[in-house]
Structure 1
Amino acid sequence: MDVFDWESEEDPVDIKSFQGEERKLIQPTSLQDPKLEKLKGVLADWINSTLKPDHIVVQSLEEDLFDGLVLHHLLARLAGVHLPVDEIALTSAAQTHKLELILEELNPRLGHGDEDPAKWSVKLIHNKDLLATIHLLVAMVRHFQPDLALPPNVKVEVVLVEVSKSGIKSNTQSEFLTGEGSCAGTDSPDASGGGDPVERLLKLDVHEVDAVKKAILHFVNRNMSTVGLQVADLDKQFSDGVILLLLIGQLEGFFVPLHDFHLTPITHSEMLHNVSLALDLLAEMGLHVTSINPQDIVSQDFTATLKVLYALFNKHKGS
């Protein structure tokens, strides 16, 4: 069977329009998966509950989000962002322009940058791509309502199709929409279920770990921008304790006196002093990061560094 036969007769695919591109198509068997149906229902209920004051009701994720109306209202309700666009966009050009403005606001909040693999885009959302639409909504739930329980381990079988003048190439792969745990927060490092959340996170698929790392990196740089600092490498730039101390001060609203730490540490003992002070401050704030020794951070142990940053991220992500 030609993979393009899977599309509905009412919405035929113009193969030429996809030449030179890769496109993901959900296998028909996955569309009948009860877990996927449950996830779609939970997301629809979340949208309808959030937008109840606006008298907006979503019945189909595939059909009701492509024009930007629902996403526009969600952005306003969840992030307090009101875009200067028409309430209802009637033309395709107006709809795509509206989606562009919406995603420009949403993507940085969701840790989705230009360099990321395109789980969603203006074109995909406007084309009523179910896979992209669900990925976007799950990311929004993770960010704006991390305590909302989503069905865990929802995955779909997809066919990755590449169209060229010489023909169609395709291969089949599995793609997760949600991961381990029953809560949405990064599917879910802070889900209930025992164990250290970062240890659970690092057991997830690589793309999910990368998504969380990018979200934390965006969080760090957003808060460090006021002091003119930029972090590019989570693995290494926290090892001397300087940025970590400045970040804690920025987040908690206090100034760490310069005589209390080494602003330009050179020796191992100076770095150890800085990191020890940072961990002491975290403990005073009630953030007891488990199984972390200052030496772990100085030695650029990524798991240890991520545990500290995740604790700060988890406390201040809404600020």
Structure 2
Amino acid sequence: MDPDFLNAFTQPSTPDQFLTADVIAKGEKRKLIKPTSSNNPKLEELKLFLTEWINRTLKEEHIVIKSLEEDLYDGLVLHHLLENLGSLRLDVEKIALTEKKQRKKLSVILEVVAKCLQLEENQLKWSVESILAKDLLSTLHLLVAIAKHFEPTLALPPNVQVETITIEVTSVGLKTSNAVEYITENKENIEAQSKDDAFDELFSCDPDKLDAVKKFSDGVILLLLIGQLEGYFLNLRNFFLTPASTMEMLHNVNLALELLAEGGLLNFPVNSEDIVNGDPKAIMRILYCLYSKYRTKEA
């Protein structure tokens, strides 16, 4: 069992630490932020950013929060936030003093959020119970989703990830599993998607002019280009200068991909068969890796 998990039951509790086993029902699962991530600078940056965003948004209503999970669990701040951002009128009491009323209020609020964001139940990363239990992970996911929907230009801190542990109480004891979870979008994935979109646009505009990239499909020109740019000589015994079969072409392409990966130029998976089959998009992405590194260097 993870030692961090065991330590959490003996150390003083904080909002970011685990719940004790006696509050997790048998068969229930809880996903929580591990203590090892509680002092993550990026996580702290996101928490501060969201806190200041809420305070700025609700300034005219004289609402000031200090702790996301402690100040949002009863639904009051979420109620004001949604009314302010989305001009929504929620048919619930402004102040819910009992747990029963808070649960009912949160249920209405989160149902409205799901409808606004057009999310199915299985897509939700929060629940009435998790928000009511002051779960930081769920609260962050909820606020990020609301911010992205109602203020899409808001510059949320990117690449915020945390280590999580999922706890399940079974008939034989506690079952745990660890994972890394992104709370805000991975900027590298976004940039990769943007490149994909750019390539799609390029090919739809004038696909005929891109037939020339198929000359790289046997790997020969690609290997020579890599050697020239990276400044080393490729022994002719290591590849086929005039490949006569698909197998020899695959050998050349695989060697080229290995060289790119070793040089830190390839940061996404590539199917060598796509290159050999002359897939223009696959070839262009490989060439773009080289272009990105050497475009600023003098000829």
Please give the TM-score of this superposition, normalised by the length of structure 1.
Answer: 0.56
| Contact kept in structure 1, 2:24 and 2:169, CA below 8 Å | no
Higher relative contact order (CA 8 A, sep 6+): 2
| Contact kept in structure 2, 1:153 and 1:178, CA below 8 Å | yes
1:197 aligns to 2:201 (yes or no): no
Question: Alignment partner for residue 78 of structure 1, among 82, 85, 105?
Answer: 85
Q: Which residue of 2 aligns with 1:291?
A: 202
Q: Which residue of 2 aligns with 1:150?
A: 156
Alpha-carbon shift at residue 7 of structure 1 (Å): 7.8
2:50 and 2:145 mapped to 1: Cα distance? 11
Aligned residues: 200
Equivalent residue letter for 1:197: S
Question: Alignment partner for residue 76 of structure 2, among 62, 69, 77?
Answer: 69
Q: Secondary structure of the equivalent of 2:201?
A: coil
Q: Secondary structure of the equivalent of 1:18?
A: coil
| Contact kept in structure 1, 2:21 and 2:169, CA below 8 Å | no
- Give matches, 1:291-310, under 5 Å: 291=202, 293=204
Q: Which residue of 1 aligns with 2:137?
A: 131
2:158 and 2:94 mapped to 1: Cα distance? 35
- Give matches, 1:1-319, under 5 Å: 1=3, 2=6, 5=9, 8-9=12-13, 13=20, 15=22, 17-116=24-123, 118-181=124-187, 189=190, 197=194, 199=196, 290-291=201-202, 293=204
Please give the TM-score of this superposition, normalised by the length of structure 2.
Answer: 0.60
Question: Percent identical across equivalent pairs?
Answer: 44
Alpha-carbon shift at residue 5 of structure 1 (Å): 1.3
Alpha-carbon shift at residue 44 of structure 1 (Å): 0.6
| Contact kept in structure 2, 1:22 and 1:163, CA below 8 Å | yes
1:170 and 1:124 mapped to 2: Cα distance? 18
Larger-gyration structure (1/2): 2
Which structure 1 residue ranges, 5 or more long, are not aligned?
182-186, 202-288, 297-319
Segment drifting more, 79-88 vs 49-58: 79-88
- 1:188/1:112 CA distance change after superposition, 3 Å: farther
2:96 and 2:24 mapped to 1: Cα distance? 23
Q: Name the structure where helix makes up a greater proportion of residues.
A: 2
Equivalent residue letter for 1:76: E
Q: Secondary structure of the equivalent of 1:119?
A: coil
Alpha-carbon shift at residue 98 of structure 1 (Å): 0.4
Q: Secondary structure of the equivalent of 1:5?
A: coil
Which structure 2 residue ranges, 5 or more long, are not aligned?
208-299
